[in-house]
Amino acid sequence: MRLSTRKGFALPIAIGSMIVIGMILAGVFFAATQENRAGRNTINQERAFRAAEFGLNTIYGKWDNPTFNALAPGGTAIKSYKDTARGTWYDTLRVTRLNTNTFWLVSTGWAGQTIAQARHRTGIVVRLTQPQINFLAALTVHGTTQLGGSSYTTGQDSPPTGWNCPPPGAEQPGIAVSNVSTVITSGCTAFSCVDGNPQLLSTNAVNDTNTFFTYGPDANWASLTAMADLTFAGNNTITGVSPNLNVDGTCRYDAGNWGDPRRLTPTGACESYYPIIYFSGLNTSNLISGGMGQGILLVDGDLTVDGGFQWFGPVIVRGRLATQGTGAHFNGAVMAANVDFDQNTVLGNATITYSSCAINAALLGAGTPKRLRYRSWAEMY
């Protein structure tokens, strides 16, 4: 029997169906791949954004006054952060000083691998806010005060030697008291150991506790002492404080280092360090003998100074202030609230010199960053 050819359409349909299904699968795989890439890129972009924000928030929350205050206007400091656990992101942050108290922070975050890396950059502008202490004179005292003839208090605005200071301001009163009759002199005829305009200022502001314990709308005694870099409790005898350096030449921030008021060439590592030193305890006696420092000195109890101790910046004592022997050399301004009404004594070879430059440098060194009210944050790309 002769077989004839039988033509059909099942095979072409099967082959055509396979082609169509293959195209559909290819399309599905392509779409899935694109979706995966888009999702991965979105994750990397978001991770980069979070890395940039992490850098800004870290710097803002842990402001490094010594490092940033050492910058000249236009100078930049660079900080880096990374994901040490998984290595999925890293961030580089640049802090640029625009002027005395304004800084521009630019944070650039990266995430992902080289072939699929995302980058995001954000920035903020911050301004340092600082305590506003109302210094009435080179020395402001509440209660009876004894002056010795070998001491010297002057309200003549005197920039510290070697400091980069603006022109001096107007001459301030030498001593501010509530009543001139509370000042007792020994060998200081006609207040010859006091210089100022006037020599003695009698003002009711000395009786106002806000003069001693309120520092503008955003700061007071409690908030300022809470910011202290170094706190000494109880009765203390401190001798020979001086700048300390680490082995690598960087500034060592320990209890024996209160900053470096000298202006050396080359620049000393601790020159930009203006610590807040706080002696806590209302009924305590504290003695500082010799050494040097700069910043803000706050004392709850009584303070006695001798040995030629040199301090640059504000000094506020709640209790009694006394100098003896070779005394102290205060450059800035001193206030003694004398809450227990004991007698203050400025004896020995003590000198108290008003210096707006030392005051402003110390207050700026204690400044805290605040975002500008307008345009404080910017997403660059």
Residue 125 has pLDDT above 80, yes or no: yes
| Same domain, yes or no: 194 and 302 | yes
| Same domain, yes or no: 221 and 288 | yes
User: Alpha-carbon distance 16 to 305, whole Å?
Assistant: 101
Please, what is the average pLDDT of the chain? 89
Among all chains, which residue has been given the structure tokens 């954000």?
A: 122
Q: Which residues pair with 230 in a beta bridge?
A: 277
DSSP letter assigned to residue 250: P
Report the number of distinct structural domains present in the chain. 2
| Same domain, yes or no: 204 and 179 | yes
pLDDT in the model for residue 89:
87
| Same domain, yes or no: 293 and 359 | yes
Residue 294 Cα distances to 257, 286, 305, 364, angstroms: 10, 18, 15, 12
| Same domain, yes or no: 199 and 302 | yes
pLDDT in the model for residue 115:
61
Residue 87 Cα distances to 41, 78, 82, 114, angstroms: 17, 20, 7, 13
pLDDT digits (tens, 9 = 90+) for 185-217: 988 888 999 999 999 999 999 999 999 999 988
pLDDT in the model for residue 341:
64
User: Alpha-carbon distance 132 to 216, whole Å?
Assistant: 5
| Same domain, yes or no: 185 and 116 | no
| Same domain, yes or no: 175 and 239 | yes
pLDDT in the model for residue 366:
85
In a domain, 30, yes or no: no
pLDDT digits (tens, 9 = 90+) for 227-249: 999 999 999 999 999 999 999 99
In a domain, 170, yes or no: yes
| Same domain, yes or no: 276 and 299 | yes
| Same domain, yes or no: 83 and 231 | no
pLDDT in the model for residue 15:
80
| Same domain, yes or no: 225 and 292 | yes
pLDDT in the model for residue 340:
66
> What predicted TM-score, i.e. pTM, was given to this entire model?
0.83
| Same domain, yes or no: 205 and 354 | yes
Q: What percent of the chain has pLDDT over 70?
A: 94
| Same domain, yes or no: 211 and 287 | yes
pLDDT digits (tens, 9 = 90+) for 261-309: 999 889 999 999 999 999 999 889 999 999 999 999 999 999 999 999 9
In a domain, 174, yes or no: yes
Q: Tell which phi-psi region holds residue 69, choosing left (phi > 0), alpha (psi between -120 and 50) or beta.
A: alpha
In a domain, 21, yes or no: no
Q: Confidence class of residue 1 from pLDDT cuts 50, 70 and 90?
A: low
Domain hosting residue 287, numbered range: 139-365
Residue 80 has pLDDT above 90, yes or no: yes
Count of other CB atoms within 10 angstroms of residue 139: 32
Judging by DSSP bridges, how do beta strands 175-177 and 139-141 pair with one another?
A: parallel
